[in-house]
Amino acid sequence: MRVAVIGTGHVGLVSAASLAALGHHVIGVDEDEEKIGWLRQGTAPFFEPGLQELIERGTATGHLRFEVDPAEAVAQAEVVFVCVGTPARASGEANLVAVERAARSIAPHLAALAVVVEKSTVPVGTAHRLRQVLMRERPDLNELAVVSNPEFLREGQAIEDAFHPDRILVGAQAQRGFDVMRQLYEPLIRDGNSLIETDIATAELSKHACNAFLALKISFANALARLSERAGADVTVVADVMGDDPRIGRAFLDAGLGYGGYCLPKDLQALEHMAHQLGYDFPLLLEVARINEEAVLAAVDKVRDALWNLEDKRVALLGLSFKPGTDDVRFSPALALAQKLLDQGAMVIGYDPQAGANAKSELPELEIASSVHEAIEGAHCMIVCTDWDEFRSLDLEKAMELLAYPIVVDGRNLFDPAEMKTLGFTYYGTGRAFDRPDH
């Protein structure tokens, strides 16, 4: 099929590249000329495992192209994906200006039977608005179908998720929308992946519900971590016990510095705002966000407990991205923590296998090291912020030699508290036994 994808961010680019790999002819469109320039040269504008190869392959076979102007891409497309950003406004409400702008830019070029797909995460009612804008611009399009097809890709595993989705969700008003989407995803459906058909509002709400519930699980684990620290319990074991119950499940119960990224924090806020606008207050969601902020504050407290005054202290952060496998630092708990330490007078030096440059442009006061050893050499405290595998296999005896003080705050519970104690570290895990070291 011929497909246009409007917006080449994390969602749009992965969607475009994976649809091209499934055999469709895809044109990715973005108003950012510099980005399109990179993409035309076959270069992914951000790090996502496997994406670069997929872009190279798609470009080489001619299945994947990139344009700034939507005219040609949209005119020939049977399916047009809208994958533009939906950032949060100060109130928490999703800012849908880019969605409306995208609608206006594609409207003049849409073919009579095109299906427009809302892929960005948006509040309930957005597909209806999208259709309204398109119909105002093109009253002749009486067969126009607008469908909701939320994406469930995880950064860092997005390519894997694109080819092996837990489910494909399509919300549509009429059968033609479902039929076209089934045709588009036929290679995945043939492989046994299920496609769920719903009305549009249900599809839109389902996406927000999933992200909000994931955030809720993480905050529940973090609240239990605070409690475990006070009770002398081990939150990792509590989570294992909970997770053994299939009704609960172990995933997303890892206590730590909390969730970040461009999706969970923003979608939680947007859902809370939308609920309020619909006349239903959902304060549980506000509490989830509060506990998430508390997770970073708890780590600051541990650093202060270990170092007393932070002025003239050098603190090394291991990991700056919001999670492993990505160079994305948007709403990264590591940067929130770095900012708080800087505010209290510490010198903060960070190392990340991928995200150093992005972290530096987000937080210029942060010093960036090019290796773990460089980061921790002479540091008074080392904080694990992101659970990259590289940190799991850290040579702890070498770390002991390099650090000025052998103090470790483990914001992702990567290390074994008993081993750390045996090695002679003053070790602060997150919600674990040995959390109150004598020193």
The residues that touch ligand UGA, with contacts defined as CB under 6 A, are 121, 151-155, 211, 214, 218, 252-254, 256, 258-261, 263-264, 322-323
Give least dist CB 262 to ligand UGA, A: 6
Q: Residue 80 corresponds to which amino acid?
A: V
426-428: strand order across its sheet: 367-368, 347-351, 314-318, 381-384, 407-410, 426-428
Q: Which is nearer to ligand UGA, 66 or 252 (CB)?
A: 252
Is 263 catalytic? The answer is yes
**Burial status of residue 385 (CB atoms within 10 A of its CB: 0-12, 13-18, 19 or more):** buried
- Indicate the helix (H) or strand (E) that contains 438: none
Q: Which is nearer to ligand UGA, 253 or 275 (CB)?
A: 253
Q: Catalytic residue among 83, 263, 381, 385, which?
A: 263
- 361: which 2 tokens? 């442009």
* Whether the Cβ atoms of residue 59 and residue 76 lie closer than 8 Å to each other: no
Give least dist CB 329 to ligand UGA, A: 11
Give least dist CB 150 to ligand UGA, A: 8
Please give the sequence-ordered ranges of beta strands (E in DSSP) within 159-313, or none if there are none. Answer: 168-171, 195-198
Give least dist CB 142 to ligand UGA, A: 33
Q: Which is nearer to ligand UGA, 152 or 163 (CB)?
A: 152
Cβ-Cβ contacts under 8 Å for 237 (sequence gap 6 or more): none
- H-state helical runs in 114-199: 126-137, 158-163, 175-184, 186-190
2-6: strand order across its sheet: 64-67, 25-29, 2-6, 79-82, 115-118, 145-148, 168-171, 195-198
Q: Which is nearer to ligand UGA, 25 or 207 (CB)?
A: 207
Q: Which is nearer to ligand UGA, 214 or 382 (CB)?
A: 214
Give least dist CB 410 to ligand UGA, A: 13
| Active site amino acids | 263
